[in-house]
Structure 1
Amino acid sequence: MKSSRPKAMQRLAGRPMLAHLIANAAEIFDRLVVVVGPEMADVAELAAPYPVVIQHDRLGTAHAALQAEAYFGDGDVAVLYADNPLISAETLNNLLTERRQPDVGLALLAMRPAEPGRYGRVVTSGANVQRIVEWADATPDERAIDLCNAGVLCADAATFRRWLQAVKNDNSKGEFYLTDVVDMAVAEGLTVRAVEAAEDELRGINSRVELAQAEAALQQRLRTQAMLNGVTLVAPETVFLCADTVLEADVLIEPNVVFGPGVTVQSGAEIRAFSHLENCTVGEAAIIGPYARLRPGSAIGAKAHIGNFVEVKNTTVGEGAKANHLTYLGDATIGARTNVGAGTITCNYDGYFKHHTAIGDNVFVGSNAILVAPVSIGTNAMIAAGSTVTKDVPADALAFGRSRQVNKPELGRHFKETLKARKDKS
């Protein structure tokens, strides 16, 4: 990956690869154990509360699986890989179901990728797997096989433990390969079956290029699911979702919208084009955008409007409130049905600390108002356009916070003529 970040921590749809795999595996398996390399505290932290085992010596995939032997118990054991993060819970359930067939001793996952490339090939006889041959060792006929190994295996705990302990490292790399247990199962006369799944689920990720390909596949999956759930995506290919994005039925998403982590949009809301949302909630029938930005901690009430070039951060906007143009609302509470005029800014930061602005219900804030926090504006108050407000405004009051206008007769015309003459000489 050419990264200081472990491969398992590379992100897909706003979530580390390992987190995707853990979430899906936890739906099927009773116990999860995560095997990590040394000095991977961030990976171990992500795996919590599941137990973490450290593979101090990186001696291959079978050796890694053997490090978790103490947690095998008596049931079925499956070995998964963090760089195969998109395996669905349904596919994992199919794997486990196949393994539990009376005559199946070992089950594995396989795929038929559009470009098999250097994947290991799954050699079969009828419905049964005979062996897995690595691309480098395959004959031309074997390389022509389009069924490829995804690396995931499942067997009963006692047998799996015995196989792992018996794996040898007599290969060019001197490593203990998990795929060797397939040969062991066949040699013992056990039935080995392959469970096929789509390439988009089973693809391995070993480079930034493959990470981008997996992102595209996952985005397509998330968009499709959203639309099946009753969400309208006007141009699906331009909308980017996070794995935890919650979009309720009858939400409308216009083109070129990006969802960061932690976003919930309730029924009937509209997210208009070129908006960006992160760690926020949008209430029923609210309208966001176009060109709006909702930053972490924002909660937009039902039927509220956040319009073009409006940025909202750590702010609660009440039901039916509006901020339609060119506004920054940070660390604030905006009451129901309040109107915030164009160019309004809540000055929440003094260079050291953040301060809160509280605006009541039914307030009218005129254009280009500067609200210097901490400040409170009472219910039904009005703020005159162009005002700088540094003191609390009582309920029902009208606040002016601007300099008195002075008009100089004829000076405007004289000034323009002077400038024009200067330009003509230049």
Structure 2
Amino acid sequence: MKGKSFTLTLLLLLSNGKLSSQITNSSILQELRAEIISTDKNESKLLTDVGFNTFIQKKALNYLTGASDLSLAKFYASYNSDNDKLNVGFNIPATNPYTKRLSFIINPILEADIKNSFATLYKDGAWKNNIRGGMKVTYLIPFSTINYWKETSVKDRKPDFQIVRTKKFLEIEKKLNEETISTTQPTTLLDGKTVVNPTNQPISERKMRKKRNESFESIGAAEAEYLEKEGAYTWFQTAWLSGWTFFPITNSDNYISLNNSQPFEKRKFNLWELNLQFTYLYDNKNIGTFYLSPWFKYSQNNSANANLMTVVDYGQYSQFPGSNPENLALLETNKAYLGEYREFKTTSFNFQIVYITPLQNTLIKPGLSFRYEKNWGFYSPTNLRFGIPLNIRGKEKPINIELQYRIDDTSNYRVAADYKSMKSIGISVGLPISLMYK
């Protein structure tokens, strides 16, 4: 009997604990008030944690061209004409367990090959596209600094932000209180009876968590907007460390031949890679934003992927004298690679610097970028890339377009007699589909 009583008491306590931890409009306002008061009283803290996250998102989204760039968006897509790849990814934020400040970003990615039958992924029992999966993890190093003019300090600036937070809190409080009244207050009918609206159902915990997050994000968005538009800082710095990998999910057949007279051989490319990158972001209100990114890459490579072979289609191949007629049928819907095929590992070092102008009230924020790439191993060219990034502002999120000029193999690593570096013009596009903080 005592055992049953103990079990019943324990269940009641657990049930009460669960009920007490349920999210309500009142509990959201209590948490929000506590966060604001805590930030107001902290002499060295200007923004709430969510306000800081929102500000970082604004700065990171100034430049987005591919998987190597940090995208603080729930969903994003990017295309780069360097390799004709489409990247689609989403971000899972992980905050500090003691605060709401971002610590890690977990980013699953899919990459598809656009130049090889992108529209047809699977046909006749075979994959027609090279699709790779990826996983990226970014650690936001907690050393960020916001600085002011010499005659001002965090203490001097705090009243402005206290007012911003208070005004936004009062808006949220009014909205949630009105919502509570509308869903709980009885209605007096025309015949004088008083009833409770029978359609009012308890809101799910998931929806209440979303409401709580949106309330905190509203405060953060107000802070970040004021910080940027009102010029409430002189310069800002932060940094992050990213590691990611790509691995093949589907492999299409690739046709290879030593020359045009030999029959084609089918091969599947197993192109994986590992990357480690450090990024330093410096933003000056009057000068602009700088991104400095050194990173290393180690990858599985081959002669076809490294552009060491001649790529031909049906029209090109049919014009070769002595072409193998058996190969023509395969080239009606495919391309082929001619030359010596070899598989090898490549180690690369990249260094990139990006500058975005500080313009605030314009549709387009232009900038400049430069990337240096040095490869080691069987494939060891030195490549340069110059770019003009254009940050096109949207109602909620920007579109990033970069015009690129690329010079490949500036050092003639193969010591070819008829050496000539390859020059090309391309474009990259980065699109944040849905923001993490609005």
TM-score by length of 1: 0.22
TM-score by length of 2: 0.21
Q: Point out the structure with max Rg over C-alpha.
A: 1
